[in-house]
Structure 1
C-alpha cells in the first residue's frame, strides 16, 4: 500500500507518518520509485502500536523510540518485557554503591511466594518503597506482605499468560504495555472500591 492508504488504514496523518519515519520509529517502506514507497501490514501494526503507546499509555516519543529500538535490535523477550514494565509503570531506577538494593521485607516477599531470588528494577523499586515506608514510621508486617503478595501473585499470573503469547514483537509490546497500564489501573480502582465498601460496612453500622 502507498502512504495515502496507510494513513487511511490507521487514521494517522501523512505528516505524522513521515515524522515517525524520520525519527526511526517506523521502518522505511519498500522503494518502488524515487519518490514513492510501498508499505506492509507490519507498518500498520507498528503505527497502531505507536498510537496506543502515546494515547492510551501516555508515553512520549523518546520512550517509545527506546522500546522500539530494543525490539528492532533483537533484544531478548524477557529483557524487552522488563523494559516495557520499567517504562510503563515508571519504576524507579534505584542504584546503590553496593549493587542492588535489598531489604528484609523485600526478601521476605520473595520467600513467601517462592519467586526467583534475582535482582530486577521491580525488586529494587519495591525495596526502595519499603525502605521509605519504614523511614516514615509506617512499617509493613510479614502478615500484610504475605496477604498482599498472595493477591498480586494471582493477578500477575493471569496477566503474564496474555502478555507473553504474541509472536509478533509489535503485538507483544502492545499487549504488555497497554495490558500493564489498564490492568494496573483496574486493580487500583478495584482496591478503591474495596476500601469504600469496607468503610461503609464498618462505619454505617456505628452511625
Structure 2
C-alpha cells in the first residue's frame, strides 16, 4: 500500500510516509482536484520527478482527514513564490511541509505552530559538501565521532536535520553554517538532535527527531505548537 505509515505527533500534527511504487498516470488517477494540479505541475519535471511531486500531494490529501479540523477535499497544495508549500482553502493556522527522495515521500501537516520534514536517500554527497553547510565545530565533531563505514549515513543525517529546521524556520536567505546549528548527540537508529536557530539576532532552541524509515534512507522532522 503506497500510504506506508501515519504517525500522530501531537493532537494537532500528523506525519505520513508514502512508498512510491506507482507511475505518474496511476498517481494522477487517485489525486483529487487533478485539473488544478495539472496547471501546478512543474513544466520541467521528468517522469521520476512527476511521480515524486504527485506522491507528495497524494500523501498530503491522505492526511487531510487526520487533522483536528479535517480539511475539505477541495483544498489544494500550492507553492508560494519561494517554493514553500501551503494549503489553499485551509484554515489560516494550517501548515504543511513536504519532502521526497528516491522512492519515498514524507508530509507533515499541523493546525498549530510550525513544522518541517525532510527525507533523504543516503549517499556520499552530504559528506563531500560538509564544509558548505556545517559549522567548523559541527564538522570537527562529525569527523571525530563517525566511523568511516558510517560516514555517508551520518553526514546525510546532519544535512537532513538542517533541512528540516530550515523548513520550520520558513525564511529564505538562511545561511546553514551560521544560522542552523546542531549540537553534539549520540547517533542511533532513531533519536533527537538538539539545535539552535539564529534569526534576527535572536537564538531559539529546537529538537529535531530522526529515524530510518527504510534501509538506505533517513527521515528528520520537527513540529512545535504555537506558544
Q: TM-score range by the shorter chain?
A: under 0.3
TM-score (norm: length of structure 1) = 0.26
Structure with higher helix content: 1
Larger Rg over CA atoms: 1
Greater strand content: 2
Bigger relative CO (Cα 8 Å, ≥ 6 apart): 1
